[in-house]
Amino acid sequence: MTRKKALVVRGGWEGHQPVRATELFLPFLRDHAYDVRVEESTDVYADADAMAETDLVVQCVTMSEIKPEQLSGLTAAVVAGTGLTGWHGGIADSFRASSDYLHLVGGQFATHPGKEPCERQGGEADNFLPHTIAVTELGREHPITAGIEDFELHTEQYWVLHDDLIDVLATTTHPARSWQPWHRPVTSPAVWTRQWGAGRVVVTTPGHSLDVLEDPNVRTVIERGMLWATRTASAS
């Protein structure tokens, strides 16, 4: 079996436990014939030689900042065929000040609606809501989500701003509640792919905490997304 090279880039806001979260997936990558390199910053993105030989980038960097030369390096690698994937804020809430990064991934975290104000106690659980991840018609046929039925989670429910160049494999719908300012239900992409040049991008929005990442459905989507995003023979 030909071995692939995966680059795991982690850091940013510690609330998403970037080290422990990424460690969950390293055995999967190694078991599937990936040589894994782990970096604790985005400096590696500016290393053209390292990026050129990378078949897959797994990014877990919430918020933070990215330098122009780092983003240029990441973007060039994806355009040339390197896959890019990640989950939750590690990819959908990275580098908020960079419109070019948003353009690369195709969607950006806007908010996660919370409980009714009278139920809030001041902790992160104020933003944990029961919600459904609904697989789309496209998702039912796609290798990442085929065979996965709609499933329930009780965690942050991401509201995402996005464009129509993404292929949506699953969605989640935010109901209109009396204490919220919107007036009709809003459906956001929960899992999507994006073709960018010769490269494939996969974004999975669930993944706030380790227990969510260990949910069998979420974990399956992330792991299949890694395999699917990896550089294809046509992009070599």
Residue 236 pLDDT exceeds 80: no
Distance CA(155)–CA(121), nearest Å, equals 16
List the one residue out of 79, 82, 93 whose CA is nearest residue 58. 82
- What is the mean pLDDT of the segment spanning 223-236? 86
For the entire predicted model, the pTM comes to 0.97
pLDDT in tens, 107-154: 999 999 999 999 999 999 999 999 999 999 999 999 999 999 999 999
Secondary structure (3-state) at 66: coil
Residue 232 pLDDT exceeds 90: no
Inter-residue contact 66 to 42 (CB < 8 Å): yes
Strands (E), 46-155: 56-62, 83-87, 107-111, 129-135, 151-155
Distance CA(128)–CA(154), nearest Å, equals 6
Q: What percentage of residues in the chain have a pLDDT greater than 70? A: 98
Inter-residue contact 41 to 73 (CB < 8 Å): no
